[in-house]
Amino acid sequence: MIMVIVVCAVVGMITGPLLGNANPLFWNVLGGVFGGFGDKLDRKKRHYADLMFRGLILAALILALSAGISIFYREAIIFYPDYEILRTLFLATLLTAGSVWFVLLQLYFSMSKGITDKKKKPSETATYSLAKTTGLTLTNSDEFGLTRAAMVLSARSFDKGMVAPCLWYLIGGFPAACIYAGLAMMNWRFGKNGLGSGFAAVPLALEKLVGFIPSMLSALFITMAASITPTAKLHKGIASWLGAKSRAPYEQGGFPVSALAWALNVSIGGPVKDNKGYPLKGEWVGPKDATAQINYKHLRRAIYINVIAHFLFIAALLGMYMWDSIL
């Protein structure tokens, strides 16, 4: 597992996101197969119950394919002599790390280079990759909006593209990890942060059921990473766990996004538009006195926290392996 995380980090940083999308390859494949079909089913004029039923049917198809892929993964590993190489490659399709860092750093360097020219905007490539990965329309977003979207991505990708699939693989092998990845893909592709039609209601509920504990674990690593991040406020990061207001609903990032916003004393989230320009009135997340006018300096700290959180996660996995070998 540790080797897979390292491979995802290194290869992703070298190659960058596939076609501008830094999400796991597994998500991209399923999204490519079912995305257009799902968009045709999700008709706003339909009744809520009808849309829920349509979403249920699509979820069943996606989960069936996910289960089928997991069986292929498992059988290929059994019959192929160099099974450890295949295991690493197959697991890597369920995770993301380096490609997200590539997108975040691309945006960071693009914004930091424009500090001497107030009229200069981030490069189209950086904005495109961020929009493609988040599923949002960011064409007319200012520096503040782009930074907020990037910071939310840093927290959510660590949760759903790293911690959750790894945890479910350790619990139930490829079947559990692939099924979770299928649900997470639907959350990303059709969920609209829980603010859309009833089409994604069923997969969102299922993803919340299997993703709630991993999201808490992800937030814990983010909070721990904040303790060694310059200017981050650990006590506020801890406050996000203690019933504080202005926290992100699960569908909008939940514990990880809240932990990041509170630790850095910023306000992120807020109203956005999906990839079709449909307005989504998301919650503002962060302390009461926090500012939403954040820039590349805040993004730099978010990237730092994300990277450190990955190292802490690796350390936790290593500790588990060592403890298991002792027992």
**In the numeric block, which tokens belong to residue 63?**
């989960």
Q: Residue 237 domain-assigned?
A: no
- The answer to whether residue 274 is domain-embedded is no
Number of structural domains (the chain) is 1
Parent domain of 304: 2-218+294-326
Cβ burial of 27 (10 Å; 0-12, 13-18, 19+) is: buried
Give a yes or no: residue 199 inside a domain: yes
pLDDT of residue 119: 54
CA dist list (Å): 5 to 40, 166, 192, 307 = 36, 9, 28, 12
The answer to whether residue 175 scores a pLDDT higher than 90 is: yes
Residue 8 lies in a domain: yes
pLDDT single digits (tens) 200-242: 899 999 999 999 999 999 999 999 999 898 888 777 778 777 7
Q: Residue 278: inside a domain, yes or no?
A: no
* pLDDT tens string 82-91: 767 888 899 9
pLDDT tens, position by position, 294-304: 999 999 999 99
Mean pLDDT, the chain, rounded, equals: 89
Vertex 132 angle, CA 146 and 125, to 5°: 65
Amino acid at 120: K
Q: What is the pLDDT of residues 66-118, one digit of tens each?
A: 999 999 998 888 887 676 788 889 999 999 999 999 999 999 999 887 654 55
Is residue 259 included in any domain, yes or no? Answer: no
Q: Helical H runs in 191-295?
A: 201-226, 234-239, 254-263
Residue 151 lies in a domain: yes
Residue 47 lies in a domain: yes
